[in-house]
Amino acid sequence: MSNNAVRPNHWADAKCAKAFWSQQESRPYQRLLADTLDWCSLSPGRRWLDLGCGCGPLTRGLWERLGGAVEEIVGVDCAPINQQAYARLIAELPHAPGGRVRFLCHDFSAGLKLFTSGSFDHVVSGLSISYAQSYDEVKGRWTDAAFTQTLAEVFRLLRPGGRFVFSVNVPEPRWWVIALISAPGVFRKRRPLRFLKRGWRMLRYGAWLKLEARAGRFHYLPAQEVVAKLAAAGFVRISHKTSFAGQAYVFRAEKPLTGEMT
């Protein structure tokens, strides 16, 4: 196996996960979270998949906006530390979930065969699917096969008429913009030094992410390329907008209704 294929994936590291937990405290992330939730189909009694869920901000947002009126929300992430984060989240949620919110530790780069077709009414994802990675030993390079597979797997998991709402970073994201906008918030934190430490660590991980994206391992794609991939996977009614202080796109796409022409 080549050296490229075994390069570290910090997404599974506790330090990396905790660093990115802190970004949800920033105004740009709060705007991104609101933009994503605004585009979700928030009808009661549905089953949701939160793909690449992290510590669960989208899961929390769905639960709170629906007042707990969900069939189930399943969070999936490759970082084991997020199991602990979800345990805290579940304990804090109003209207006790009673088993209707759960976490699975799984790297979706390997596929989503742990779920049967049509398992979910809707799928949501926040700044995660860009990190589906696949290395082609024959070609000797990283490819977008896992990214493309992830879109196809989400399509398979959705019930007809289901919605996929997700965010991805723009090409060459400027992390310093987020840091600059977030900086004044440090003075309102109970533990400002921890906030600064995690922020600095997040910038360092951000530099790693951009380096790997340039190598083709991760995928910061132009919006129209994402649209084309969604259409190729079978999605319809595709739209997108910019959020996260201009550093991310939010996409909305639907699986056609049974018998609907694509």
Q: What is the pLDDT of residues 75-124, one digit of tens each?
A: 999 999 999 999 999 999 998 899 999 999 999 999 999 999 999 999 99
- Delineate the domains of the chain, giving CATH numbers in brackets: 4-254 (3.40.50.150)
Q: Kindly list the strands in the beta sheet with 158-169, ordered across the sheet, starting from the edge strand earlier in the chain.
A: 101-105, 72-77, 47-51, 120-126, 158-169, 248-254, 236-243
- R_g over Cα of the chain: 18
Predicted confidence at residue 1, as pLDDT, reads: 46
Q: Is 260 left (phi over 0), alpha (psi -120 to 50) or beta?
A: beta
pLDDT tens profile 107-119: 999 999 999 999 9
The residue whose two tokens read 């979270």 is: 33
**Which one has a higher pLDDT value, 8 or 224?**
224
CB atoms within 10 A of CB 100: 17
- Distance from C-alpha of 188 to C-alpha of 237, rounded to nearest angstrom: 41
Give the pair of three-digit tokens for residue 220: 């910061």
